[in-house]
């Protein structure tokens, strides 16, 4: 496999990380805008996730630029920064209602961080080998990175879906409480 072919291979995987940046930057955005409850702790959690996602997305765009420039040092710095940003999700205290959401975000962040680190390691290994690489020499390692990446995307998407569902349920409960009439389960009135 020639060096230009290696660059194409890594560019394809890098493009996947760029797509991840778009997904990460969109984490929880819908839920935050749809959420209309007075539960400040829920909004604070969603805001924290959004802030972490924005930081990670910024670092992933730097990662992408470093790949395009073939700058391994900058690539490593950007990947490490993005992984560190994503790792911040683990330290968030999620409201009890968001426990499953938090678990999905944590798993997704771990998988994405691991995929980034493995990508940089493999890229460095391939660059060091130069033109002496045989076709298919790193296929299994690339497949493993792709598997981690896909798992990370799946977990992050699932977390966003769960969060949107919870936000929708909260909106429906608030609407029902607002529209509750006498004898409703949302009031203490028991008139018939």
Check pLDDT > 70 for residue 8: no
Rounded distance between C-alpha atoms, residue 88 and residue 52, angstroms: 7
Q: Which residues contact 73 (CB under 8 A, 6 or more apart)?
A: none
- Mean local confidence (pLDDT), 41-59: 89
Rounded distance between C-alpha atoms, residue 40 and residue 87, angstroms: 24
Rounded distance between C-alpha atoms, residue 144 and residue 158, angstroms: 21
Check residue 181 and give its pLDDT: 39
Check pLDDT > 50 for residue 30: no
- Mean local confidence (pLDDT), 42-49: 88
| Band of pLDDT at residue 187, cut at 50, 70 and 90 | very low
- Per residue in 118-173, pLDDT tens? 999 998 888 887 777 777 778 889 999 999 999 999 999 999 999 888 877 665 54
Average predicted confidence (pLDDT) for the chain: 75
Closest to 28 measured CA to CA, from 166, 158, 155, 160 = 160
- Per residue in 52-75, pLDDT tens? 989 998 888 888 888 888 888 999
Check residue 150 and give its pLDDT: 93
| Band of pLDDT at residue 101, cut at 50, 70 and 90 | very high
Closest to 21 measured CA to CA, from 78, 101, 93, 90 = 78
| Band of pLDDT at residue 185, cut at 50, 70 and 90 | very low
Residue 33 or residue 44, greater confidence: 44
Check residue 26 and give its pLDDT: 53
Give the pTM. Answer: 0.70
| Band of pLDDT at residue 85, cut at 50, 70 and 90 | very high
């Amino acid at each position: 496999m020639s060096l230009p072919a290696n660059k194409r291979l890594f560019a394809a995987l890098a493009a996947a990380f760029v797509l991840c940046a778009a997904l990460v930057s969109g984490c929880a955005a819908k839920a935050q805008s749809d959420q209309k409850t007075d539960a400040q702790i829920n909004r604070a959690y969603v805001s924290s996730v959004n802030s972490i996602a924005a930081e990670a997305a910024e670092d992933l765009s730097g990662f992408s630029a470093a790949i395009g420039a073939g700058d391994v040092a900058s690539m490593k710095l950007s990947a490490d920064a993005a992984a560190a940003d994503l790792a911040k999700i683990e330290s968030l205290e999620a409201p009890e209602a968001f426990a499953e959401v938090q678990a999905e975000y944590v798993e997704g962040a771990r998988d994405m961080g691991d995929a980034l680190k493995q990508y940089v390691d493999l890229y460095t290994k391939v660059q060091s080998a130069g033109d002496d690489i045989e076709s298919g020499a790193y296929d299994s390692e690339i497949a493993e990175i792709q598997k981690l990446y896909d798992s990370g995307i799946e977990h992050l998407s699932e977390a966003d879906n769960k969060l949107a569902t919870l936000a929708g349920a909260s909106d429906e409960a608030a609407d029902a409480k607002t529209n509750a009439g006498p004898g409703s389960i949302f009031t203490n009135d028991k008139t018939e």
